[in-house]
Amino acid sequence: MDYATLLQVLDTTLRLATPLLLACLAGLYSERAGIFDIGLEGKMLMAAMSAGAVAYLTGSVWLGLLAAIVGSLLFAAVHGLASITFRGNQLISGVALNFVASGITVLIAQSLFGQGGRTPPLEGAARFNPIKLPLADELAGVPIIGPFYAEVVSGHTFLVYVGLLMVPLSWWVLYRTRFGLRLRAVGENPASVDTAGISVVRLRYTAVAITGILCGLAGAYMSTGLQAGFGKEMTAGRGYIALAALIFAKWRPWYCLWATLLFGFFQAIALRPDVIENTIGISIPVPALDALPYILTVVVLAGLVGKAIPPRAGGEPYVKER
Amino acid sequence: MGGGRPTSAAPSSRPFAIELKGISKSFGPVQANKDINIAVPKGTIHGIIGENGAGKSTLMSILYGFYKADAGEIFVNGNLTAIPDSQSAIRAGIGMVFQHFKLVQNFTVLENVVLGAEDGALLRPSLAKARKSLQDLAQEYELDVDPDALVEDLSVGHQQRVEILKALYRQAEILILDEPTGVLTPAEADHLFRILKGLRDQGKTVILITHKLREIMEATDNVSVMRRGTMVGTVKTAQTSPEELAELMVGRKVLLEVEKKPAHPGKVVLSVQDLRVKDEIGVERLKGVSFEIRAGEILGIAGVAGNGQSELLAALGGIQRAAGTVTMNGAVLPLVGADANGRARREAGIGHVPEDRQTLGLIMDFTAWENVAFGYHNEPKYQKNSLLMDNDAIRADTEKKMATFDVRPPIPTLAAKNFSGGNQQKIVVAREIESDPDLLLIGQPTRGVDIGAIEFIHKQIVALRDAGKAILLVSVELDEIMSLSDRIAVMFDGRIMGFRDPETTNERELGLLMAGVSGDAA
């Protein structure tokens, strides 16, 4: 593989890793607070459709982004209601919401646009366009670093940079703020938070809302950044891959970045089977490449690469004990 | 002893730190607290004693804002105070150390102390301030803990100190401790009582909830007795006796000492040589244990929970793989492989009352009669023919056992979870004793069991011994070990530290062995 091809693959990696990263961080907040969320997929799908539809109708990608967040928050609220207020089973709630999202997004898009559940293609201000970072042209001549900066780092859409900035921000929130301390505590032992006089319910709703917002960004990126418009089931399991990445990342923000970049890299090379064949001399079937993230997750879960210990109170509704 | 401090003087000279008036609380049909009145003078250690389910913990949870009372008033330092949640309790200067610690296991001590009492949105300043304040508290009250240690790496005694520090950091003037010594060695418990007396001498008020009479007598100034949700009375500790308190708790005279005749040990029933157990991550939990038990003898295993007693019971009961040699009535028992299982052990004449009756002894959602059949469901007396079980026979048998062991209510079709702790334990004990084993393994026979039922279960154990059976008793309650055993083995860190004769040893000596100090390692 020559350097230009490598840069192409890395560029694609970053583009494909972004929705995974945003969704992975979304899951991080919820799961750190003790609410398992298998419904990342559904929220992303809902957000992608909302963004695509509103951006097309208004011509403004920013209104589309807002709609994506609102749509995703709506689903997050239902999940919160089911799992926090009514202490229901978090897996069932998440799976149900995924099914609802799968159907309702197509239904709405079809009734609005009548194009078989798609939104019409977005153009101009209705989608996020690549941003050229400062000095990209000036540095392009510098060997190695120049092309890397110009090709891989620069030239992405707004939400890619938002995703990357969310990583240090999440780390800071989680480990350097009062809110982060309480969030981590409520996912480990809600009784400790409750007896300290802090509302478990409010903390968990806040976490679930943050999850909703980040899933909104992830979904909006799908339909207005990565692609130009919403299509049926366009998230294609990314919510689940993000969950796998979250486990791989052991519920830590920086690890989330590395995990999603790795999974993004697999997706990128799955798009370029020719590159692999040229590099290692063997042709690997694309489905096998697609399966790599899941195989990795199984390896992690089996405890082969260190132990992934989920937040201890995860998945369990908090009931004051007698 | 804390006697001699004036407590009934005029309220003006010694105001009440806490006064509860007419507190009532129901959980569905169960009335946990009925019109409770109690007054706790400032600067005293006030004991609240009662059987399990008497309503002590409920009352204190109401005071800490964890539950809301259905009726009644709370006065703190003479002022009517509404305590709708824990935050209000903390603001009123009340701190609570729960029986099950409310700590975040993978946080540091510092983070646990700061949680909920942060000074601002950023952590660093709060942590720095807490670090300073922990140093001061440690010096003042013998409360040393490494502020940067992870809670999961601390011993239970130290975890408890973290809980106390949490309360003191929040400026608690009134400290409630719920059954604080259940998990401590005698030495740790003594240390705790020293801390509490230090707090009292600094003018703080301590409320100590316990069911252990000895602790009340040792540590408190006054004691209030609860029975079945009502307050029976408050007395000065110096003017009462354990016998009187026990009678107040139960409502009738109780024998605190177990009556038993001298043992007449016969032939060796169980012989254990160099028994070793590794846990699932390969850590050795039982490091070569050897002993014998004879017919007509009770061997008591003393020790702080987690020093290998559970593994010993599990290995002998056939639910844990082990290495070594175990002979039962002269026959060698397989310790690994398919033949090492609970059923095979029962067939070899070993009855097993597991330590945790709710997970290993019973299936809580199943009925009493189904639970009575478990483990013995293959017995011919429970079979109708080669295919079907004779459920009527099991039910009839259960009724008989319930009558013999005084299980209340005597309803075989009631689910196990609907019996009280004591009656659940009676069901398990009835099942195992009535199967007429040559050896009975019995773990924590009276954990979570009220005094009346304790007396009954102890009598049954002694009766089984007198019938010429061998008994291996594991308990963290030193009183129970001392009063029941014919010989005592003390375990520490997976080994037996030594054997003692209950007639000639004392709690101090056993306590040192339990802490791993001295002893003639076997």
Residue with tokens 């309790």: B89
- Looking at residues B376-380, what average pLDDT do you find? 88
Q: Supply the pLDDT for residue B11.
A: 41
pLDDT digits (tens, 9 = 90+) for B237-253: 999 988 888 888 877 77
Cβ distance B449 to B442 under 8 Å?
Answer: no
- Give the domain ranges of chain B: 16-93+173-250, 110-171, 268-364+437-514
d(CA B454, CA B432): 17
User: What's the burial of A233, exposed, middle or buried (CB within 10 Å: 0-12/13-18/19+)?
Assistant: middle
**Does A320 lie at the interface with B, CB-CB under 8 angstroms?**
yes
Cβ separation of B111 and A181 shorter than 8 Å?
A: yes
How do the pLDDT tens digits run along chain A, 322 residues long? 688 899 999 999 999 999 999 999 999 999 999 999 999 999 999 999 999 999 999 999 999 999 999 999 999 999 999 999 999 999 999 999 999 999 999 999 999 999 999 999 999 999 999 998 888 888 888 888 888 888 899 999 999 999 999 999 999 999 999 999 999 999 999 999 999 989 999 999 999 999 999 999 999 999 999 999 999 999 989 999 999 899 889 999 999 999 999 999 988 988 888 888 888 888 888 888 778 877 877 777 676 666 778 899 998 899 876 4
B31 or B104, higher pLDDT? B104
CATH class of this structure's domain B268-364+437-514: alpha beta
Fold match, B16-93+173-250 / B268-364+437-514: yes
Question: Nearest residue of A to residue B59 by CA position?
Answer: A322
**Apex B385 CA angle, B379 and B387, nearest 5:** 90
Cβ separation of B107 and A176 shorter than 8 Å?
A: no
Pick from A96, A3, A79: which is nearest to A36 by CA? A79
- Looking at residues B145-149, what average pLDDT do you find? 93
Q: Supply the pLDDT for residue A295.
A: 82
Cβ separation of A197 and B116 shorter than 8 Å?
A: yes
**Does B104 lie at the interface with A, CB-CB under 8 angstroms?**
yes
Q: Supply the pLDDT for residue B259.
A: 80
**Does B68 lie at the interface with A, CB-CB under 8 angstroms?**
no
The distance of B103 to chain A (nearest Cα, Å) reads 5
Q: Supply the pLDDT for residue A304.
A: 65
Pick from B178, B207, B238, B236: which is nearest to B20 by CA? B207
Q: Mean pLDDT score of chain A, rounded to an integer?
A: 92
Q: How confident is the model at residue B369 (pLDDT cuts 50, 70, 90)?
A: very high
What are the percentages of helix, strand and coil residues in chain A, rounded to 5? 70, 0, 30
Q: Say which CATH superfamily domain B16-93+173-250 falls into.
A: P-loop containing nucleotide triphosphate hydrolases (3.40.50.300)
Instruction: Give the percent of chain B with pLDDT over 70.
Output: 95
Interface mutation target, options A174, A178, A202, chain B, most CBs of B under 10 Å: A178
Tokens of B292: 């014998």
The distance of B117 to chain A (nearest Cα, Å) reads 8
User: What's the burial of B206, exposed, middle or buried (CB within 10 Å: 0-12/13-18/19+)?
Assistant: buried
**Does B246 lie at the interface with A, CB-CB under 8 angstroms?**
no
What are the percentages of helix, strand and coil residues in chain B, rounded to 5? 35, 25, 40
- Looking at residues B393-414, what average pLDDT do you find? 91
Neighbours of A132 (CB within 10 A): 12
H/E element, B376: none
The distance of B85 to chain A (nearest Cα, Å) reads 7
pLDDT digits (tens, 9 = 90+) for B192-236: 999 999 999 999 999 999 878 888 999 999 999 998 889 999 999
Q: How confident is the model at residue B29 (pLDDT cuts 50, 70, 90)?
A: confident
Q: How are beta strands B16-27 and B30-41 bridged, if at all?
A: antiparallel
Pick from A223, A231, A219: which is nearest to A122 by CA? A223
Q: At what angle do helices A286-301 and A273-280 cross, to 10 degrees?
A: 80
* ipTM of model: 0.90
Cβ distance B47 to B216 under 8 Å?
Answer: yes
**Does A74 lie at the interface with B, CB-CB under 8 angstroms?**
no
Q: Which of B87, B98, B112 sits opposite A197 (nearest CB)?
A: B87
Provide the number of CB pairs (under 8 Å) joining chain A to chain B: 76
**Does A233 lie at the interface with B, CB-CB under 8 angstroms?**
no
DSSP for B423-465 reads HHHHHHHHHHHHT--SEEEEESTTTT--HHHHHHHHHHHHHHH
Reported residue count of chain A is 322
Q: B430-449 burial, b if ≥16 CB within 10 A, otherwise e? A: bbbbbeebbbbbbbbbbbbb
**Ranges B27-31, B383-387, B430-434, B488-492: which has the least confidence:** B27-31
- Looking at residues B279-283, what average pLDDT do you find? 80
Interface mutation target, options B104, B108, B159, B358, chain A, most CBs of A under 10 Å: B104
- Looking at residues B348-375, what average pLDDT do you find? 91
Give yes or no for residue B42 having a pLDDT over 50.
yes
DSSP for B167-233 reads HHHTT-SEEEEESTTTTS-HHHHHHHHHHHHHHHHTT-EEEEEES-HHHHHHH-SEEEEEETTEEEE
Cβ separation of A192 and B115 shorter than 8 Å?
A: yes
Q: Supply the pLDDT for residue B7.
A: 41
Give yes or no for residue B260 having a pLDDT over 60.
yes
